[in-house]
């Protein structure tokens, strides 16, 4: 009999049985896409934005919706963005509509810059645009590519959605690019544009600053941690389905350590499952071993973080790891943890929050954003 596979997954998209909760957000997102509503999804890294959109897309494709997705984190130039857009439109919209590659490629004939199309080893068509064209021609090519989803949707009477992952990266590509995109999108009421972003300050600037082109242009959805009862049921079901049991209080301790953080919970449960014998029971000893393994796995990542932040920020991270959600700016808290004057602490908190190492809960209250970073700092950050 083949060995049972670990039922927990982190780092990749959470698919099928690995998708946890988010039922309310999923229903809302699917309804918005069907209605042609633009949506911006705010969430820190590792909160499952991409998994949520993937699941919504899978459900909607089964209903005939065409969904094209572009990851802006993988585009270093506007020519690369054009190539990713052409690829997504060709594969996810044009090909399903026309059912013939030759017909699908004809939609690119009116582009100012003609793409180079090649076949890879799997037989898939790959697009590229050579550099060196004028900025006007590059922008014109991008504008035309952004117009195509709405035109194809209207021509074939099919609902279309265009998804941008890590959308805040448009600002690094070209600060003028949001204006060009918004000018095209505002005349596409039947196309849903979904924007995902992990850099909160940049995404809030794009969508909440009245001086920005995308101001109030999309419904806002914010992902939080997964509720403890939903995550507990998921963990118990995954262990039971693979022949392993959980001792009293273990699930509660897992969620106490992770706070319901999606990535962190899956990561810790992955190691806990590995530490538990087949047909055995996970107890405190297995959980302690699993936590130590997680910290070993994350050690290089956390060391890089620690080495890049200045001394005052390190002191604040140490304080928040030892006493989270305390009144950080109070004289008593600063004295307990050897923090400098309040103005220095405030500047450190602002930098840590912008860098998404620290999360602001309410005025004067903060916590370390990544659950295991706090544990790592308690053990090694001295």
- The answer for residues whose C-beta is within 8 angstroms of residue 347's C-beta and 6 or more apart is 312
Q: What angle do CA 133, 161, 154 make, to 5 degrees?
A: 85
Q: How far does the chain reach from its first CA to its final CA, in angstroms?
A: 48
Q: Which of 238, 204, 216, 166 is nearest to 20 (CA)?
A: 238
The secondary structure of residue 126, as a DSSP letter, is E
Residue 224: phi and psi, rounded to 5, are: -110, 180
Q: Are 352 and 328 in contact (CB under 8 A)?
A: no
The secondary structure of residue 44, as a DSSP letter, is -
Count of beta carbons in the 10 Å neighbourhood of residue 285: 10
CA–CA separation, 360 and 350 (whole Å): 9
Give pLDDT, residue 356. Answer: 85
Q: Residue 22 is inside which H or E element, if any?
A: none
N residues, the chain? 382
Residue 250, CA distances (Å) to 202, 227, 229, 235, 376 in order: 38, 17, 14, 10, 20
Which residue positions in the chain have pLDDT lower than 50? 1-2, 14, 16, 18
CA–CA separation, 48 and 263 (whole Å): 8
Annotate 336-373 with three-state secondary structure. HHCCCCHHHHHHHHHHHHHCCCEEEEECCEEEECCHHH
Q: Are 60 and 67 in contact (CB under 8 A)?
A: yes
Q: Are 9 and 266 in contact (CB under 8 A)?
A: yes
Q: How many CA atoms lie within 13 A of 96 on its CB side?
A: 20
Q: Residue 165 is inside which H or E element, if any?
A: strand 160-165
Give pLDDT, residue 325. Answer: 78
Q: Which two tokens stand for residue 187?
A: 């005349």
Partners of 126 in beta bridges: 118
Q: Taking the mean position of all CA atoms in its chain, how far away is CA 13?
A: 10
Q: Which two tokens stand for residue 165?
A: 């992952």
Residue 51, CA distances (Å) to 219, 223, 246 in order: 19, 12, 27
Give me the residue label for tokens 């693979």.
Answer: 242
Give pLDDT, residue 324. Answer: 86
317-348: string of b/e by CB count within 10 Å (b at 16+)?
A: bbbbbeebebebbeeebbeebebeeeebbeeb
């Amino acid at each position: 009999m083949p060995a049972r596979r670990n039922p927990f997954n982190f780092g990749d998209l959470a698919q099928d049985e690995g998708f946890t909760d988010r039922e309310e957000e999923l229903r809302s997102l699917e309804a918005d896409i069907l209605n042609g509503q633009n949506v911006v999804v705010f969430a820190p890294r590792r909160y499952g934005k991409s998994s949520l959109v993937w699941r919504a897309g899978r459900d909607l494709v089964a209903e005939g919706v065409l969904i094209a997705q572009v990851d802006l984190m993988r585009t270093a130039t506007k020519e690369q963005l054009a190539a990713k857009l052409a690829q997504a439109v060709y594969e996810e919209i044009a090909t399903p509509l026309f059912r013939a590659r030759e017909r699908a490629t004809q939609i690119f004939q009116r582009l100012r810059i003609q793409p180079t199309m090649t076949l890879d080893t799997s037989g898939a068509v790959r697009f590229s645009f050579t550099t060196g064209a004028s900025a006007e021609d590059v922008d014109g090519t991008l504008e035309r590519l952004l117009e195509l989803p709405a035109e194809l949707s209207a021509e074939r009477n099919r609902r279309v959605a265009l998804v941008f992952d890590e959308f805040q990266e448009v600002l690094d590509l070209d600060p003028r690019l949001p204006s060009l995109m918004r000018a095209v999108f505002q005349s596409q009421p039947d196309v849903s544009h979904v924007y995902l972003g992990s850099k909160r300050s940049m995404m809030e600037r794009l969508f909440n600053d009245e001086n920005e082109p995308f101001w109030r242009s999309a419904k806002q959805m914010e992902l939080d941690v997964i509720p403890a009862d939903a995550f507990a049921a998921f963990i118990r079901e995954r262990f039971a389905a693979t022949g392993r049991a959980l001792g009293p209080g273990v699930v509660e301790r897992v969620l106490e350590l992770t706070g319901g953080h999606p990535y962190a919970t899956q990561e810790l449960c992955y190691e806990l499952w590995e530490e538990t014998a087949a047909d055995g029971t996970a107890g405190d000893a297995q959980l302690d071993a699993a936590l130590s393994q997680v910290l070993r796995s994350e050690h290089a990542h956390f060391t890089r973080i620690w080495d890049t932040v200045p001394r005052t920020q390190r002191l604040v991270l140490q304080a928040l790891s030892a006493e989270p959600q305390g009144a950080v700016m109070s004289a008593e808290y600063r004295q307990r943890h050897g923090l400098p004057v309040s103005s220095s602490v405030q500047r450190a908190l602002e930098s840590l929050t912008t860098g998404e190492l620290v999360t602001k809960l309410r005025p004067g209250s903060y916590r370390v954003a990544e659950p295991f970073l706090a544990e790592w700092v308690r053990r090694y950050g001295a």
